[in-house]
Amino acid sequence: MRRRPFHPAFWVLAHLGSRVRLTPPALRRLPHAQGPAPTTVQIPTRHGRVRAVVLHPEASSGPVPVVLHLHGGGFVNRNPEQDLPLARHLVAELGVGVVLPDYDTAPRVRYPVPEQQMADVARWVREHAAAHAWDPDQLVVSGISAGAKLAVNICQDLHARGLPRPAAACLTVPVLDLTRTDRRSSARRPAISPFVQGFAQWAHVPDPARQAEPTVSPAWDDHLADALPPTLVQTAQLDTLAAEGARLARTLRDGGVPVEHHEIAGADHGMYSDSHALALLRTTCDFLARHLATGPTRAA
């Protein structure tokens, strides 16, 4: 099938989006938002090195769980530092390590580069856990929006390789179906409008023949429940993506995966950028406190 035609205005938007560097004010006001300074590591992947921001708890008596958290941005924005306040909160409340990787985005690259980079990063985190005082059996994958899709992709990759699942997954307003650009909600001006959906689809995977591949659109993966660990799904009532997040939770539950689904009333896609941020983090911390106490999860 033919690719969508080139549109110069879309390239301009993609280039501008890839340069946005913003931490929402609501995140900067979180408890622990001004915690210890992070370090930076360079992680090798099949597509070159990836810069990652790393946070460690100030004191620990042994290896600690590690959260691999992937930022959102519609597959065009690349700013892991935007989630530093979130990461500091997790470190302070749970005593975990946190890794915030960068990943290449459109228009420089498209699918499957970010997916493969993050799969390589996840394996690197496990393989180098001892050097960073992390527990490789207590890896959590986490993400917001496009980052949540990449977190799911990590689980798919580990399953395909016959490697152990993560200990848990935390998915906030996940993007799960890149075949669609027609989602709507009751919001007058939804954050993820049909135009934004079409822009993300065009930027990341413009070839219609590939958009239903399971690693492009995990909603089309018939074996997703075999790949995911205990999972927290957080959706926003007014988000045009809310229905597919809820559908994911049902799919996992029907497949025997422990899953919690929380929908925030009156919220839209960018709820980590507003007054809902602290409530979302509390739910995340409560979920992880339960599942990180259970030890390693079963192998894929």
- pLDDT tens, 109-166? 999 999 999 999 999 999 999 999 999 999 999 999 999 999 999 999 999 999 999 9
CB-CB contact of 137 with 295 (8 Å): yes
Across 261-290, average pLDDT:
92
Domain 58-291 is in which class? alpha beta
Q: Is the pLDDT higher at 125 or at 4?
A: 125
pLDDT band with cut points at 50, 70 and 90 for residue 107: confident
Across 73-79, average pLDDT:
92
Q: Is residue 21 predicted with pLDDT exceeding 60? A: no
pLDDT band with cut points at 50, 70 and 90 for residue 209: very high
Q: What is the predicted pLDDT for the residue at 54?
A: 98
Q: Is residue 32 predicted with pLDDT exceeding 70? A: yes
Q: What is the predicted pLDDT for the residue at 296?
A: 40
Lowest model confidence (mean pLDDT) among 4-8, 65-69, 201-205, 216-220: 4-8
Across 258-273, average pLDDT:
93
- H or E element, residue 50: strand 48-55
- What length does the chain have? 300
Q: Is the pLDDT higher at 277 or at 217?
A: 217
pLDDT band with cut points at 50, 70 and 90 for residue 300: very low
Mean pLDDT of the chain: 91
Q: Is residue 187 predicted with pLDDT exceeding 50? A: yes
Looking from the CA of 106 toward its CB, the CA atoms found within 13 Å total: 22
Please state, in angstroms and rounded to a whole number, the distance separating the CA atoms of residues 87 and 65: 13
pLDDT band with cut points at 50, 70 and 90 for residue 243: very high
Other CB atoms within 10 A of residue 266 CB: 10
Q: What contacts 195, CB < 8 A, 6 or more positions away?
A: none
Q: In the chain, what are the domain boundaries?
A: 58-291
Please state, in angstroms and rounded to a whole number, the distance separating the CA atoms of residues 134 and 66: 6
DSSP-based three-state secondary structure for 113: helix
Q: Is residue 299 predicted with pLDDT exceeding 50? A: no
Q: What is the predicted pLDDT for the residue at 30?
A: 73
Q: Is residue 259 predicted with pLDDT exceeding 70? A: yes
Q: Is residue 11 predicted with pLDDT exceeding 90? A: no
